[in-house]
């Protein structure tokens, strides 16, 4: 008996027999052939990014390609845990997780992978205290420093809106981990420009 865990604009996520099935949903406003092509290519890209992350030693749920039902679905391990967002709301001293997230993003960026949706809700902490990076649905490949800075800015904004009382301290913990990235200084310089652009819009 499958259970729907969540349904977003891009995908429906179900739990069935201990595994998570993430299925990209049909977009009726797109031409059927184009829709099929886009869902297929995004599913393939997500799998490719997850495989690369595993190679880099980043904790992500294992892929089960033998269980796939179609070209628009990825099947992964179910991580029985809590979102890092909730862990930090309960205990503000758990900043080691943010250092780890910074190290992970440094590894991804070193391989030109952008997460695309990095928030404290897209990190799960299991019952043993092990953290996992999840939801690579918006991930993409890029060599641009601009894209790396935007990737970080998304997390910074998420921290500011969800953890505003400890935002500075939390973001600094993340940067402590991310500073292992070779092009750290270049990304930080560009991040300041991205922040200024954001402020000027308001």
Structure pTM? 0.92
Same domain for 87 and 65 = no
* Domain hosting residue 162, numbered range: 81-201
Same domain for 103 and 44 = no
176: three-class secondary structure by DSSP = helix
- From the list 80, 117, 151, 186, the catalytic residue is 117
Same domain for 49 and 103 = no
| Mean pLDDT computed over 39-56 | 96
Residue-level pLDDT at 201: 61
Residue-level pLDDT at 9: 83
Contacts (Cβ under 8 Å, ≥6 apart) of 60: 50, 53, 54, 132, 133, 134, 136
Nearest C-alpha neighbor of 181 from the set 133, 153, 136, 145? 145
Same domain for 94 and 66 = no
pLDDT over threshold 70, residue 200: no
Of 77, 102, 121, the one marking the end of a domain is 77
- How far is the C-alpha of 31 from the C-alpha of 28, rounded, in Å? 8
Same domain for 157 and 62 = no
- Say whether 117 is catalytic: yes
- How far is the C-alpha of 38 from the C-alpha of 26, rounded, in Å? 10
Same domain for 88 and 68 = no
pLDDT in tens, 143-177: 999 999 999 999 999 999 999 999 999 999 999 99
Across the chain, what does the average pLDDT equal? 95
- How far is the C-alpha of 94 from the C-alpha of 187, rounded, in Å? 25
Residue-level pLDDT at 1: 72
Q: How confident is the model at residue 13 (pLDDT cuts 50, 70, 90)?
A: very high
pLDDT over threshold 60, residue 73: yes
Question: What's the domain count of the chain?
Answer: 2
pLDDT over threshold 60, residue 202: no
């Amino acid at each position: 008996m499958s259970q729907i865990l969540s349904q977003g604009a891009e995908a429906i996520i179900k739990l069935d027999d201990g595994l998570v099935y993430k299925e990209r949903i049909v977009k009726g406003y797109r031409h059927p052939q184009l829709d099929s092509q886009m869902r297929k290519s995004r599913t393939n890209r997500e799998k490719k990014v997850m495989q690369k992350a595993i190679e880099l030693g980043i904790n992500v749920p294992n892929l089960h390609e033998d269980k796939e039902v179609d070209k628009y679905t990825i099947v992964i391990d179910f991580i029985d845990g809590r979102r890092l967002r909730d862990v930090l709301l309960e205990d503000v001293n758990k900043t080691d997780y943010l250092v780890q997230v910074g190290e992970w993003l440094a590894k991804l960026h070193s391989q030109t992978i952008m997460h695309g949706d990095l928030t404290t809700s897209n990190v799960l902490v299991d019952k043993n205290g092990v953290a996992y990076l999840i939801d690579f649905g918006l991930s993409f490949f890029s060599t641009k420093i601009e894209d790396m800075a935007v990737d970080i800015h998304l997390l910074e904004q998420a921290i500011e809106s969800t953890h505003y009382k400890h935002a500075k301290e939390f973001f600094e913990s993340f940067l402590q981990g991310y500073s292992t990235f070779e092009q750290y200084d270049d990304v930080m310089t560009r991040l300041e420009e991205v922040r200024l652009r954001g402020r000027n819009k308001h």
